[in-house]
Structure 1
Amino acid sequence: MHHPYRNGMAARDLQGAVWQKSRHSNSQGACVEFAKLPDGGVAVRNSRFPDGPALIYTPAEVEAMLLGVKDGEFDHLVRD
């Protein structure tokens, strides 16, 4: 099956994408945004560059990342 989405494509080219960011994002716009795609994939972009590249992940990849975040596996990336 051919998917119309590819890693690194311009986020603006993801027709119909509804971007969502965390309510914990700061007021300067430094946040990561996610959009569920019609084919089930999940797109991720940097809110500071909304027309920049989007990375595309499968639901399983996003689930694994979210479980790791919930378990604290990545806490060392933002703490001293």
Structure 2
Amino acid sequence: MTAIYNGMPGDANSELIWKKSQRSGPQGNCVEVATLPGGGVAMRNSRHADGPALVFTKAEMEAFLGGVQDGEFGYLV
């Protein structure tokens, strides 16, 4: 497997399986996520699949998604 690091090109690792929300529109207005070995998550912009991917630990994603579920980030949209 290709090295995984924060800021890696989103299309650099062909072994990652990227998924985007069904809520994403036809213009690619969404992010895509991929599960990483060890339970982390990579995230990239669906319009720029070759752009940088952000890499998060499982604990970081749990904290963020918990905040989303609690409504802490509703002011962003």
TM-score (norm 2): 0.89
Classify the secondary structure of the residue corresponding to 2:11: helix
Classify the secondary structure of the residue corresponding to 2:67: helix
Partner of 2:12: 13
* Structure 1 residue ranges (4+ consecutive) displaced by more than 6 angstroms after TM superposition: none
How high is the sequence identity, in percent, across the aligned residues?
A: 56
Q: Which structure has the highest strand share of the two?
A: 1
Aligned equivalents of 2:17 and 2:41: distance in 1? 11
Classify the secondary structure of the residue corresponding to 1:45: strand
Classify the secondary structure of the residue corresponding to 2:44: strand
Partner of 2:56: 57
RMSD: 1.0
Partner of 2:25: 26
- CA drift at 1:5: 1.4
Aligned equivalents of 2:31 and 2:71: distance in 1? 18
**Structure 2: which 5+ runs fail to align?**
none
- CA drift at 1:23: 1.2
Residue deviations 1:17-40 (CA, integer Å, cap 9, x gap):
100111111121110110001232
- CA drift at 1:54: 0.3
Residue deviations 1:29-57 (CA, integer Å, cap 9, x gap):
11011000123221000001001100100
Greater shift, 33-42 or 58-67, is seen at 33-42
